[in-house]
Structure formats: C-alpha cells, structure tokens
Amino acid sequence: MGKPTGFLEYDRENSIAVEPKERISHFHEFHTPLSKEKQQLQGARCMACGVPFCQSGMMIGGMASGCPLHNLVPEWNDLVYTGNWEQAYYRLAKTNCFPEFTSRVCPALCEAACTCGLNGEPVATKENERAIIEYAFSHGLVKANPPKVRTGKTVAIVGSGPAGLAAAMQLNKRGHLVTVLERHDRIGGLLRYGIPNMKLEKEILDRRIQLMEEEGIQFVTNADVGKTIKAEDLLKQYDRVILACGASNPRDIKVPGREANGIYFAVDFLSAVTKSLLDSNLTNGEFPSAKGKHVLVIGGGDTGNDCVGTSIRLGAKSVVQLEMMPKLPDQRTENNPWPEWPRVCKTDYGQEEAIAVFGHDPRIYQTTVTEFMADEKGNVKQAKIVRLEPKKDKKTGRMQMIPVKGSEEVIKADLVLIAAGFLGSQKYVTDAFKVELDARTNVASKQVPYQTSVPNVFTAGDMHRGQSLVVWAIQEGKEAAKAVDESLMGYTNL
C-alpha cells in the first residue's frame, strides 16, 4: 500500500475538461491529464483494501461490479504513488491488452466499487490507468514483441472490434498464425466507427494496430464474411474461426412515417461522420448533415449522448433526446448499495454541451415517438411524441411504460437519430456458419465456454454476450483465445 493516510490527506482530482462551448469547435479528445506529480498523489489515495472489490469483476445485484479484466488495481495504484511507472505498466499489461482504450472509454466499474467511494470520492483509477499506459507509450515500453516460436496452427477472426483484437493479440502471442477479417475499410469495430473521436482519437487505435501488425497479425479489410467471403472457405483454410462480429442489429422505431428521409440509426450516423472525418476532415460531406437542423435523438443512453455531442459539433440548431424510462435518482438509493453499480443519473459530455449551448438538458424522460411527419419531398420535419407512465402489468406483474392519453405533442425534427439499443447478431453471418443462437439472438456457447454449436467455431464479445462494453469485449476476446488455444494444443498457458 502506497500511503496509509493518502485517502485522508488528498482529495480526488480529475483531468481538466476543456469548456463545453470551446470543445464543440472540434472533434478531438478534450481532457488535459494531471501532471505526473499530481497523478502520483491520486495513486496515494488507494487503501489497498483486504478484499478489493475494484478488481474483483463480479456480478452483484444483476450488474457487474469491479473490473471485468481483474486489473491489479491496488498494485498499480501503489506503483503510481511511488513513481514506479515502468513496473506499473508491466502489471497493467498483465491483465489488460488495451489499457489505452479502456482508460479512455470505460465507465470505470472499478471506481464504482472502490471503498473510498463508500464515504467520499473513489480513487481516480481510470485516470491512473491512462497515465500509466501513456507513460509506457511515450517511453518506448510498448513494443512489438513477435512470438519466438510459431505453432503452425491458423486462426481466422471475423470482426476487428475490441473482442477480435484481444483474441488476436493473445493467440498470436502463443505462436498461432492469426488473420483478422473486417468488413469495413478500417480496423477497430466500434472503437473506430461508433465511439466518436472526442472519446477516442483514432490515432490511439492506429498505433496499437501497427504494433500488432509488426507482431505478425494479418489484417484484411473490406472482407465481409458471409457475403464476399464464404464461411465454408474459412473453415477449410483455417484450423479455428472466432466470430467476433458485434451486436450490430439496431432496434428500430416502427411507427408511421418511419420511411421518411432524414431518419438514421445512430451507429450509421456516427460511423459516417467518423469516416468522413478520417477521409477528408469532413470536407467530402458524405454524412447526414446536422447543420441548422432540429435534431431528435431517440434513446437516452450513451450512444444517444454521442449523437448529441456529434450533432452539436456539426452545427445543429436544437437537440432533443428522448428517454422512455423515468429519470434516475441523483444519489444511490437504499436498494442500490455500494459496491453495486450505481443506478444514478449522470450528465455526460454531450448533454453538458447541450446545456452550455441551448441552456437546458436535452433529455426528455418518460417520452417516446408515435409518428414521424414528412414534407412533400418526403423529408422528415416533425415528430409526434407522447408521455409515458409506469404501470404494473396485472398478469405478469412487470412494470410497463404506458402512453398517457391526451399528452401527445408535435415537435420539430428534421434529423432523427435512433439510438434505441441493439438486438443481437446479424443473421447473414450466423446463417453462413449455421451456429445456434440463444433467445436474444446472441451466438450461443453451451458446452465449452466460447465454443459455438459448430465444431472449430468460437465466439466472443457483443456477438456472444449481447451489447455491452469495451472492457467486457476485451475480456471475452481473451477468454475465447484461451478456449481456442486449448482446443488446438490440448492445454493453454494464456
């Protein structure tokens, strides 16, 4: 343990965020990290608890609590405090393939379970993680380390999101020859085309992919397995296949007028903006324009928030974000105690920006859309919204959100972004491999974890667990790699 009294002596200090009105003028990350010395004091706040929930990654109360990767949080917090940055990196890299991603986009399940958070502010573990990995990159500690011996076994990984990348890194380290196939023009899955630049600059992704290439992993882009590449060919060509295609089936809003122009799924909108940004710094205009438009975002979650922040950067005239459920409380309630994940209302960066620009929170709770109205050219112009109230279903006892009669209202909407969640895997890929699905259309792995119903075909990430988080995708990729390695070699040391 670093400093026994650290948590009493030092307050939590976070990196400085650029003011909302200033940062909306660009698509770059907008946090200035603390100085090394200040970050070390944040490490000193860790109490190295006897039972550190922060690194335990368990399901408590139906939600994950603590780091799913079991990052050795108290160990490296201590090494941060003592300024042992190099050792801190080696301990961090032991469990986390990509700390540069998680330390930017993870919701920090570790911090929600930190004992310091019981009576005050949790240890700034996520920013300590970022300081360690950025120190390691800037001091040349993160190097390509190709395997000394090759096994001669081959593995194809379909999908280059965090799950596919983590599996690739682990299997290549073991000496297997790994090829990652990606249908998009660039590698990274939702890290590339989903999570906006403001949260994760794409150079961060590129520097990691370059290292992985130097380590011998082959990346093939524009390779749509199940369409341009046949599943049978992959199974013949490779000893094992891992399906890590994500949960990219968006939930639709099926109401009258849905066919109008100007209504997009959130990921299609966000990925078009990022692609245009990467291809031409937005000059090619190949994305749905939000300039001067009344933007309606349907879905109050994180993806919806990314749409709010992106629309504002593109010059939206107004932004409204609809959420079906009631507003969460500002503080934990009694039935949601520590170390459960706190079900509290948070105001994310996009919403902060909307408040700064338009003077109010863009979120409207307990509300949904019942109709879209278009002009004579078929372009969406308005949406009819209705208020909802929770009512218990008499038969099932479950809570349902029921429309309130007479509460309908028409609002302006000339760009609509649907961020209403995802419904599992895409049929054309699962059909191509004939893998069994579970009730939620995720790929099932019944007997052996991560092994599908089809011999030699494994699965990982959102495609397996359903829409989730980057940290879970990395964990799934690592675990699937273990299962593949064991099936190839009879044992695994991963």
Ligand X SMILES: Cc1cc2nc3c(=O)[nH]c(=O)nc-3n(C[C@H](O)[C@H](O)[C@H](O)COP(=O)(O)OP(=O)(O)OC[C@H]3O[C@@H](n4cnc5c(N)ncnc54)[C@H](O)[C@@H]3O)c2cc1C
Which residues of the shown chain bind ligand SF4 in the complex (CB under 6 A)? Answer: 67, 69, 71, 73, 102, 106, 108-110, 125-126, 129, 471
Is 468 an interacting residue with respect to ligand X (CB under 6 A)?
yes
Q: Which is nearer to ligand SF4, 126 or 208 (CB)?
A: 126
User: H or E element: which one contains 1?
Assistant: none
Q: How far is CA 63 from CA 66, 248, 254, 470, 491, in A?
A: 10, 22, 30, 16, 32
Is 226 an interacting residue with respect to ligand X (CB under 6 A)?
yes
Record the tokens describing residue 479, joined without a space: 């675990």
Part of the chain binding ligand X (CB under 6 A), chosen from 36-44, 83-91, 319-327, 459-467: 459-467
By CB under 6 A, how many residues form the interface with ligand X? 40
The option from ligand SF4, ligand X, none interacting with 109 (CB < 5 to 8 A, set by class) reads ligand SF4
Alpha helices by DSSP H, listed for 338-396, are 349-358
Q: Which is nearer to ligand SF4, 113 or 290 (CB)?
A: 113
Q: Which is nearer to ligand X, 323 or 462 (CB)?
A: 462
Q: Which is nearer to ligand X, 142 or 270 (CB)?
A: 270
Of the candidates 345, 332, 329, the one whose C-alpha atom is nearest the C-alpha of residue 117 is 332
Q: How far is Cα 150 from Cα 440, in angstroms, rounded to an integer?
A: 38
Task: Report helix, strand or coil for 458.
Answer: strand
Which residues within the stretch 337-396 sit at the binding site for ligand X (CB under 6 A)?
Answer: none
Is 224 an interacting residue with respect to ligand X (CB under 6 A)?
yes
Is 106 an interacting residue with respect to ligand X (CB under 6 A)?
yes
Q: How far is Cα 26 from Cα 384, in angstroms, rounded to an integer?
A: 33
Tell me if 83 sits within 8 A of 128, measured CB to CB. no
Tell me if 230 sits within 8 A of 398, measured CB to CB. no
Q: How far is Cα 461 from Cα 166, in angstroms, rounded to an integer?
A: 10
Is 313 an interacting residue with respect to ligand X (CB under 6 A)?
no
Part of the chain binding ligand X (CB under 6 A), chosen from 253-261, 287-295, 363-371, 458-466: 458-466
What does residue 374 show for φ and ψ, rounded to 5 degrees? -115, 165
Is 303 an interacting residue with respect to ligand X (CB under 6 A)?
yes
Is 158 an interacting residue with respect to ligand X (CB under 6 A)?
yes
The option from ligand X, ligand SF4, none interacting with 73 (CB < 5 to 8 A, set by class) reads ligand SF4
Interior/surface letters 295-314, b for 16+ CB within 10 angstroms, e for the rest: bbbbbbbbbbbbbbbbbbbb
Alpha helices by DSSP H, listed for 174-262, are 202-214, 231-237
Of the candidates 172, 163, 213, 210, the one whose C-alpha atom is nearest the C-alpha of residue 191 is 163
Among 74, 117, 122, 164, binds ligand X (CB under 6 A): 164
CB of 472 to ligand SF4, least distance (A): 10
The option from ligand X, ligand SF4, none interacting with 183 (CB < 5 to 8 A, set by class) reads ligand X
Q: Which is nearer to ligand SF4, 116 or 307 (CB)?
A: 116
Q: Which is nearer to ligand SF4, 67 or 231 (CB)?
A: 67
Cβ burial of 426 (10 Å; 0-12, 13-18, 19+) is middle
Is 424 an interacting residue with respect to ligand X (CB under 6 A)?
no
CB of 9 to ligand X, least distance (A): 32
Among 122, 161, 342, 424, binds ligand X (CB under 6 A): 161
Is 159 an interacting residue with respect to ligand X (CB under 6 A)?
yes
Contacts 24+ apart (CB under 8 A), 280-288: 288/262, 288/264, 288/415
The option from ligand X, ligand SF4, none interacting with 71 (CB < 5 to 8 A, set by class) reads ligand SF4
Q: Which is nearer to ligand SF4, 73 or 231 (CB)?
A: 73
Q: Is 439 left (phi over 0), alpha (psi -120 to 50) or beta?
A: alpha
Part of the chain binding ligand X (CB under 6 A), chosen from 77-85, 190-198, 285-293, 395-403: 190-198
Alpha helices by DSSP H, listed for 82-178, are 85-95, 99-105, 109-112, 116-119, 125-138, 162-173
Is 57 an interacting residue with respect to ligand X (CB under 6 A)?
no
Q: Which residues bind ligand X (CB under 6 A)?
A: 105-106, 158-164, 181-184, 189-190, 194-195, 199, 223-226, 244-246, 248, 267, 270, 302-303, 306, 429, 461-463, 468-471, 473
